[in-house]
C-alpha cells in the first residue's frame, strides 16, 4: 500500500523543508521507492536540493486550477509520495482531499 506523506505547517521557518529533505534522503540512502513532490512555489527548497528527482504539483483554492493537485494522488498509486507543502496551505489541501473524497478513494486504490 502506497502512502502520501504531507509535510505541512502554518508558519514558515519551522522545519517543514528539513523534514521533507530528511525523509527523501532516508529513502534514497536505503533505496526505498518514493516520489518527492514540491508544492511550494515561493520557496522550493526541496526541489532545489533534489532537482533531478523532484516532481511538482500545485495546491490552490482556485477552483479553475484545483485539479493540478490530483497528480499527487496519481503518483501515489505507483509509489509512496513525500510532499513538501508551503506555509498556510492547509485550507486548500483539506478542500482538495474533501472535494475528491480522497480518503475513500485511497481505500479503493490502496493509497494511505
Phi-psi region of 110 (alpha: psi -120 to 50; beta: other; left: phi over 0): left
- Please give the model's pTM, rounded to 2 decimal places: 0.91
In this structure, are residues 82 and 3 in contact, taking their beta carbons and an 8 Å threshold? no
Query: Mind listing the pLDDT tens digit for each residue in 62-104?
Result: 777 767 899 999 999 999 999 999 998 988 899 899 999 999 9
Q: State phi, psi for 84 to the nearest 5 degrees.
A: -90, 115
The residues, any chain, with a CB within 8 Å of residue 45's CB and separated by 6 or more, are 17, 21, 84
79 close to 49: Cβ distance less than 8 angstroms = no
Per-residue pLDDT, 59:
85
Averaged pLDDT for residues 39-50: 92
Give residue 75's pLDDT.
Answer: 95
Q: How confident is the model at residue 42 (pLDDT cuts 50, 70, 90)?
A: confident
Return the higher-pLDDT residue of 11 and 16. Answer: 16
In Å, how far are 2, 14, 17, 103, 105 from 111, measured between CA atoms? 5, 28, 23, 9, 8
pLDDT at 12: 79
Q: Which band of pLDDT confidence, cut at 50, 70 and 90, is reported for residue 60?
A: confident
Give the CA radius of gyration of the chain.
13
Amino acid at each position: 500500500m502506497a502512502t502520501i506523506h504531507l509535510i505541512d505547517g502554518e508558519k514558515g521557518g519551522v522545519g517543514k523543508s528539513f523534514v521533507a529533505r530528511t525523509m527523501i534522503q532516508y529513502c534514497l540512502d536505503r533505496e526505498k521507492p518514493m516520489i518527492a513532490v514540491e508544492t511550494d512555489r515561493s520557496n522550493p527548497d526541496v526541489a532545489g536540493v533534489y532537482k533531478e528527482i523532484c516532481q511538482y504539483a500545485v495546491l490552490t483554492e482556485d477552483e479553475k486550477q484545483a485539479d493540478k493537485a490530483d497528480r499527487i494522488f496519481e503518483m501515489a498509486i505507483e509509489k509512496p509520495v513525500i510532499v513538501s507543502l508551503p506555509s498556510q496551505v492547509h485550507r486548500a489541501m483539506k478542500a482538495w482531499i474533501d472535494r475528491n473524497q480522497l480518503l475513500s478513494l485511497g481505500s479503493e486504490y490502496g493509497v494511505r
